[in-house]
Amino acid sequence: MKEREDPFSTYQENKILLNSIFMKDKMTKYSKQLVDNYFSALIKAREKIEMTRDPLELGMIQDIVSDYLKDMQWHVKYDAAHSDFDPQYRFDLVARKEKRTIVVLVQPELTRKSIQDIQREIFDVKKEMPSTRVLLATDILELPYILQRGALSDFISDMAKKYRLGILFVDKNLDYQETWLVPSEFLHSQTNPEHQL
């Protein structure tokens, strides 16, 4: 069966992918070709964006991700103190579905300092609730920092391996808003040099 060039472009595929991040056996069924095609589709989506567009702000990214998770039938809370944590822990978004929990950390721009802050937060989350999935939400304009070999991409790949950190890339213009989920398994398996920007 030939795999499409734009995988996970349908609602049903997105819903299955989001639910699969909690099931290791399902994640291993995604072929390398499918993952490569997905990264190629992400690169094409980013290339279509006006380079003069301002980076999305934290609140806007938070709203886009919240809409995405609600569309996928997750219950979402903003800027929530998680009930399983000390009240000092606050997360940009917490999503629940049945017994599954996703913590979303929103970071409009990826810098060495922001990645170190994210690492501390992930460590705290994973220490308290190991089965929780942590997703980093950012503007799709930040995609090159993930794909280009360097300190930031190595740091993110390392967190994907150690803590199962996934990424949600977002975009918004006057006509639509879009969200792309990149599970940790896709991040740390992605070593294909053709995906350099």
| pLDDT-based confidence at residue 48 (cuts at 50, 70, 90) | confident
pTM of the shown model: 0.87
Position 57 pLDDT exceeds 50: yes
The Cα angle at residue 150 between residues 61 and 46, in degrees rounded to 5: 40
Domain ranges of the chain: 11-195
Q: pLDDT: is 50 or 154 the higher one? A: 154
Q: What pLDDT is stored for residue 120 in this prediction?
A: 85
DSSP state of 75: E
Q: pLDDT: is 119 or 91 the higher one? A: 119
CB-based burial, 58-81: b 16+ in 10 Å, e otherwise: eebbbbbbbebbeebebebeeebe
Q: What pLDDT is stored for residue 190 in this prediction?
A: 64
The dotted CATH code for 11-195 is: 3.40.1350.10
- The overall average pLDDT reported for the chain is 85
Tell me phi and psi for residue 101, to 5 degrees: -135, 135
Position 195 pLDDT exceeds 50: no
Q: What pLDDT is stored for residue 17 in this prediction?
A: 94
Average pLDDT value for residue range 11-33: 91
Average pLDDT value for residue range 161-185: 91
Position 90 pLDDT exceeds 70: no
Strand partners, 106: 137
Residue pLDDT, tens place only, 96-152: 999 899 999 999 998 888 888 888 888 888 888 888 899 999 999 999 988 888 888
